[in-house]
């Protein structure tokens, strides 16, 4: 069973707020000059910020944050965030892979930006919310 797609807009302002909250002020997350100098296509979103957005989708599907029993991803492609008012979008989809004997639901998750997968092995295990 496929779950409803969730879309998250990411702007440079979001990256600044996340940097302040996380303490990760690496210039690849705010300076095009530095990002391109190290071989990136431009400023990229923090990997953990991307994971957090996917986690938000999982908690929405699960019905409550405490319904998420396990959640993990591998980062495969950076999310490039342009320096404009539009930013970019991350689309998050999931498929119910199985329901375990213990009643837990295993989700296989896909996160894409401009049609390219940005995470691999993204999975969550959730229980029915109370």
Q: Please state, in angstroms and as integers, the Cα–Cα distance from residue 62 to each residue in 85, 106, 118, 125, following that order.
A: 31, 11, 22, 9
How many domains does one find in the chain? 1
CB 93 within 8 A of CB 5: yes
Whole domain around residue 33: which residue ranges? 2-127
CA distance 130 to 64: 8
Residue 67 belongs to domain with CATH number: 3.10.129.10
pLDDT tens by residue, the chain, 130 residues: 999 999 999 999 999 999 999 999 999 999 999 999 999 999 999 999 999 999 999 999 999 999 999 999 999 999 999 999 999 999 999 999 999 999 999 999 999 999 999 999 999 999 976 5
């Amino acid at each position: 069973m496929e779950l409803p797609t969730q879309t998250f807009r990411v702007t440079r302002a979001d990256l600044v707020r996340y940097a302040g909250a996380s303490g990760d002020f690496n210039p690849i997350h705010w300076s095009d000059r530095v990002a391109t100098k190290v071989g990136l296509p431009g400023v990229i979103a923090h990997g953990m910020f991307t994971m957090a957005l996917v986690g938000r989708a999982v908690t929405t599907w699960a019905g409550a944050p405490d319904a998420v029993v396990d959640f993990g991803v591998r980062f495969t492609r950076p999310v490039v965030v342009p320096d404009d008012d539009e930013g970019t979008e991350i689309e998050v989809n999931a498929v119910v892979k199985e329901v375990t004997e213990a009643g837990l639901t295993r989700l296989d998750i896909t996160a894409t930006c401009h049609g390219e997968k940005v995470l691999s092995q993204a999975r969550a295990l959730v229980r029915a919310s109370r």
